Chains A and B, each alone.
Chain A
């Protein structure tokens, strides 16, 4: 009997039938053709004729022999009324789909020309039905992948914000930021001093324009109540360097800001909206800033209000001829416009030359110092941010790989369950490509569903980050077109990762094996086991690498947050106050007012100690001063000892909680005394008076050129260390001096309160208002809240790492569970036999546990290597944590091994409950 299956199969192929349906059809039609063939043979036909005639029953693509298409001819020629005149009806009948016109006609056509898109659509429909059928498993896969995609999308959101989105200035591609690299202080992004800025501007030829800005607090009268505002003092060319236009009015004219010109100011869009109700008439109004009158000439574009610039209220011209506190103090943020014909490298080459010249001219202020230009994009993203972003990228990518490996295991298991069906379809002539496409389509559906859910998760994650983040820059995070495209790409690419291997493997089964084998052994091949083992090892390894990196980040953040600050932030309230003309015109006058306010504060109930200082501890930068020590040989000017300088007044040690270790703080007679005094911190004492007490020593401050800048100062006390540089940096050597009259124009008041700090706020404000109703006072804020705001970004970063690592861990542990459970199911028969032969429960459990443990340990070995390699790249961002921190390694390895063992113990203990009798009976 001829085999019809191939012929039938070929004709059915175009229909994309469900495999079981297709098999039934093939069987039924084969029987029909067998019957017809037998009948023809009995009637005397040769084998060939019978075969040909029977096959003709199936129909052919071309016009059928002996059959005319005209109804009349059919009637006369004995042709049958064809029940289904159009073969496409069959397609419709069998699949419920209206076939495309180009679709090959069902039984009557060789289906090989089936449109790819049409076929894909069929595959997708079939896949969707299967996924809905196994909706529990599908849901787990979708959630796993969605979380991994969301993690990647969130990190992409940051990358998009920091790297991809255009900066809101026109000259973004040519603007460079110029920093000083001070290797001695270990700072690679130091601002420049005004004098260095002026030199740079004079000497640089590769730069078309050089501009500077410095942010100060100022008092403002003329916009509601007198208030302290943030002012960006800028050289008038800053806005033109950036290519930034006015929103209303105009920007600065080139010669504004030089002495003799009328004072002008530009409002930030935010300030204009908040305090002038966005009134166009605000342009032309007169304001009093720091006691000087100026005219508003414009409102700046709101686009620029990102990051620190979002805090700026007013823009004023910077008078570079004015003597700043010190021309060597590094206060200026410098921007320059690269000439179109020069490259960044050329700019940096010229900056090296200029740095050398500056060093020769003023060695003291340029020790180990070098100018460096970077693109504004690079400058916007801090060096640390780059590393964190890259790490987050790698971590989330690994989480995605873990998720894909996990899903691949699920797909393998599922493909194993369908092994017999697949073998049958292959035996009946289905092509391998066709099967792979079918399996890939299912993966694609999973990917798309996960991508859509992942976008939802990412949106929630980014929204949460924006709510928690104190940084206005991050408010621009958004699910935009870039991010959607990214998520979509992942949802299309990831199925290739997790579905290809199972698809290729299951579409190449050993036909004999699989057709012979019962369901019990489906998928038990050694090849399947090997794939599952590799996938499991990969999951454990990558999850561990993610855990190691995240563990190091957690250790660092914890270290930063628990580092002794050196002061007691709790119960401390701060406010900055300005003493400006016309009320306050001289230093001594200001100082008197500061002292009288301090007295009033100290007498206020709820305030136990009050002090004034020119720098907010920990948060505000401090100027670096150099000095000589009396009685010690004077070193080279470039090797002079240096300290951070802070001026204080009042009960500073009790107000801040910094411990007085030796000697004393200020006495009333220190002020105006002919004998200047100072207090140093422990770090300065350790460095410059090693092994002895600095008390009684005399030092002399020196100017940039080495000239003495002060009378000899006597060290009268030593206080404990306090950190600086926004908490991150270790305590520098520091000197405290009594508040000088010339520093009293802008003063921070510190008040310690034993009650809930915020409660004393109104009392402090009352004291200030009673002192002078017109004082420009900034908000009275609890210091711990300011520190917390500062640290919140660290918390958020830590939270992200912990979140992503948790996803990785959970997925990997679920993978261990899944593989063990699969293996238990697979070997149920074997277990039954073993138990019938006397194996104990412990034997059975250890059988599975030892296999799991072996795989987990291999994963741990690979993961430790990967984590170690990644940890080394993070060295520069780790604080008080070694990249090979033993505690981190021990914890995360313990975590993954223990949770892995528990995950395999659950299914393994289920194996014990297998009933040997039932197993043997089934035999």
Chain B
């Protein structure tokens, strides 16, 4: 029982954190899928990596929930691309997820005695 619970927590955590990453990245400007995957990899200095098989389902799910919105945008001389931007509902979620994450990280840090850098 305990084991199952911890597995669930693990999964929720990961899912929650991935959502937080995406929402944060589209907060300032609309971005397309490849851009998002590169940004996550670059900003985490290679620690976090999204595969196609994980990234796009996540994008569609967020879109379906109404947190982000995808639109096909055509730029001169380029193929059209699907850009995702944050919706007002997404902003609320992002705010709340950031708080949760901060509290969670601080709690972990306090317990584990890890110094924040």
Contact = CB atoms under 8 A, between A and B. Distances in A.
Given A84-B57, A85-B11, A85-B14, A59 B34 contact: no
A24 B59 CA distance: 14
A79 interface: yes
Given A28-B33, A31-B34, A32-B33, A78 B54 contact: no
B53 interface: yes
A83 B47 contact: no
A81 B49 CA distance: 7
Interface string A73-95: 00000111111110101100110
B17 interface: yes
B17 A29 contact: no
B82 A28 contact: yes
Contact of B10 (A28, A59, A71, A83): A71
Contacts of B33: 28, 31-32
Contacts of A27: 82
B51 A106 contact: no
B52 interface: yes
Nearest to A55: B52
B54 A84 contact: yes
A36 interface: yes
A33 interface: yes
Nearest to A91: B57
Contacts of A106: 53, 57
Interface in A468-516: none
A71 B50 CA distance: 16
Nearest to A30: B79
Contacts of B48: 80-81
B54 A82 contact: yes
- Report, as a range, how many residues of chain B touch the other chain: 20 to 34
B75 interface: no
Contact of B51 (A24, A31, A59, A89): A59
A760 B26 CA distance: 97
B98 interface: no
Contact of A81 (B17, B32, B34, B79): B17
A658 interface: no
Interface residues of A, number: 30
B60 A94 contact: yes
A774 B105 CA distance: 110
Contact of A78 (B47, B51, B56, B61): B47
Contact of B53 (A25, A57, A78, A79): A57
A94 B14 CA distance: 20
B47 A28 contact: no
Contact of B18 (A57, A59, A83): A83
B15 to A, nearest CB: 6
Nearest to A90: B57
Nearest to A64: B51
Contacts of A32: 33-34, 37, 52, 56
B46 interface: yes
Contacts of A108: 53
Interface in A740-793: none
A85 B54 CA distance: 8
A58 interface: yes
B52 A33 contact: yes
A35 B58 CA distance: 19
A107 interface: yes
A59 B57 contact: no
Contacts of A25: 56
B38 to A, nearest CB: 8
A109 to B, nearest CB: 10
Nearest to A86: B11
Contacts of A81: 14, 17-18, 48
Identify the interface centre among B19, B34, B57, B61: most chain A CB within 10 Å of its CB.
B57
Interface string A98-111: 00000000111000
A57 B51 contact: yes
A82 B52 CA distance: 10
B47 to A, nearest CB: 7
B25 interface: no
A58 B52 CA distance: 6
20 contacts: A25-B56, A28-B33, A28-B82, A29-B52, A31-B34, A71-B10, A80-B47, A80-B54, A81-B14, A81-B18, A83-B14, A83-B57, A84-B53, A90-B53, A93-B57, A93-B60, A93-B61, A94-B60, A106-B53, A108-B53
Interface of B: 10-11, 14-15, 17-19, 32-34, 37, 46-58, 60-61, 64, 79, 81-82
User: Which 8 residue pairs spanning A and B have beta carbons closest together?
Assistant: A83-B18, A80-B49, A59-B53, A90-B57, A35-B34, A57-B52, A83-B58, A81-B14
Given A80-B49, A83-B58, 14 more contacts: A25-B56, A33-B52, A57-B52, A58-B53, A79-B49, A80-B47, A81-B48, A83-B54, A83-B55, A84-B54, A87-B53, A93-B57, A107-B52, A108-B53
